[in-house]
A = this chain, B = another copy of it.
Amino acid sequence: MQFLSDNAASVHPAVWEAMRAADEPDSPYDGDALSGALDEKLSALFGRECAGLWVATGTAANCIALATMVQPHGGVVCHREAHIEMDEGGAPGFYLHGAKLLLAEGEGAKLTPESIRAVIDPIRDDVHQVQPHAISITQASEYGGSYRADEVAAIAALAKERGLGLHMDGARFGNAAAFLDCSAADAAGPVDALSFGFVKNGAMSAEAIVFFDPQAADIARYRRKRAGHLQSKGRFLAAQVHAMLKDDLWLANARSANAAAAEIAGACGERLMHPVEANELFVRCTAAERETLREQGFGFYDWGADAARFVTAWNTREEDARALSKAIADL
């Protein structure tokens, strides 16, 4: 019973089916019909014109999106625990040519206008200090919190006021939308670009970078190729995105993962370190308690010395979630 991560879960049957269906020769790279249809599908979903580029990983999605907003001599405000800071092996430094991540605080790994201002207001407007060019937020956050529409709007207002780009890392965007029970448009809010994650949500190897500014997408196309991310059989990535969008599979899968997380959360009570607003649980428990859980066959990561992280996935079985819930309650 694995709760290690959603990042290695199985591929959804509809995704497999779409990929098989794509195995007719078509134009290479993104010249195929499926890739060409992405903009329209995404524009319909978000209710405003946008351009979508597939890439294989969230790291590439985040970095290519940011590269359209940030000059090499600039900086990106992000949370101290953001994936781009903690888990991407320095990819932002590579893609942004040394542009700096400016680390901000915030409960549950969520930024606020105040925490952003605390970072950027002290920056003197002189050349000795790296100036902010963009803000990156994560929806749902690295601690499983979801930004409400007004929270994103407030950050977007600050970004606009200061002339900063706004990027959303949506590795678990579906889980946030499912938790918020809102549309994709409302979950994204007025950001400039979104890394729309599918791999953790049932796809195999396709994320979409959604640009709400078409000019940025034009730059991103060059950056994607330059980074070796323009696959020649790109139709197989486009097919995955289409499968995830069709009949809102992305939302259904996320709801399923969230439901499993909610089931487990119900047993955690005071143990929860953060509200469960997506498909991740950070649960206080001793080493002995973790040992007890592992003996019962549950797989998960330690989170520091006194906690564990459990992640559910689109295909987490109800009985497994219930079993873990019970096991935690019994601790």
Please report the C-alpha to C-alpha distance between residue A204 and residue B28 in the assembled complex, in whole angstroms.
12
Say yes or no: A90 contacts B100, CB within 8 Å.
Answer: yes
Within 8 A of B (CB), among A5-27: 5, 7-11, 16, 20, 23-27
Cβ-defined partner of A222 (8 Å) among B20, B60, B89:
B89
- Interface size (A, Cβ < 8 Å)? 71
Using known A-B contacts A231-B56, A236-B204, determine if residue A91 contacts B8 with beta carbons closer than 8 Å: no
Interchain CA distance A298-B3 in the complex, whole Å: 52
Asked whether any CB of chain B lies closer than 8 Å to the CB of A97, the reply is yes
The reply to whether B229 and A128 contact each other, CB–CB distance below 8 Å, is: no
Select A127's contact among B2, B5, B199, B230, beta carbons within 8 Å.
B230
Residue A294 CB within 8 A of the other chain: no
Query: Which residues of the partner chain B approach A286 to less than 8 Å between Cβ atoms?
Result: none
A93 contacts partner chain B, Cβ-Cβ < 8 Å: yes
A247 at the interface (CB under 8 A from B): no
Interfacial chain B residues near A7, Cβ < 8 Å: 28, 232-233
Contacts of A237 in B (CB 8 A): 205
Residues of B within 8 A of A230 (CB): 57, 59, 89, 127
Residues facing B in A92-118 (CB within 8 A) are 92-100
**Are B28 and A10 within 8 A (Cβ)?**
no
Interface residues of A in 233-250 (CB under 8 A from B): 233, 235-237
B73 pairs with A89, CB closer than 8 A: yes
Shortest Cβ distance from A315 into B: residue: B25
- Encoded as 1 (CB less than 8 Å from any B CB) or 0, chain A from 37 to 76 comes to 0000000000000000001111111010000000111010
A73 interface neighbour in B10, B75, B98, B223, Cβ under 8 Å: B223
Q: Does A227 contact B (CB under 8 A)?
A: yes
- Asked if A93 meets B86 with Cβ closer than 8 Å, knowing A222-B73, A232-B8, A236-B204, the reply is no
A287, CB-defined interface residue at 8 Å = no
Instruction: Give CA–CA (A87, B124) in the complex, Å.
Output: 11
User: 7 smallest A-B Cβ distances: which pairs?
Assistant: A93-B98, A60-B228, A59-B228, A89-B225, A127-B225, A8-B28, A7-B232
| 30 CB-based A-B contacts, threshold 8 Å | A5-B28, A5-B232, A8-B32, A9-B25, A11-B23, A11-B236, A29-B127, A56-B56, A56-B228, A57-B228, A57-B230, A58-B228, A61-B228, A72-B72, A73-B90, A86-B129, A88-B128, A88-B225, A89-B130, A89-B225, A91-B228, A92-B98, A93-B98, A94-B97, A94-B98, A94-B226, A98-B98, A199-B233, A205-B236, A228-B229
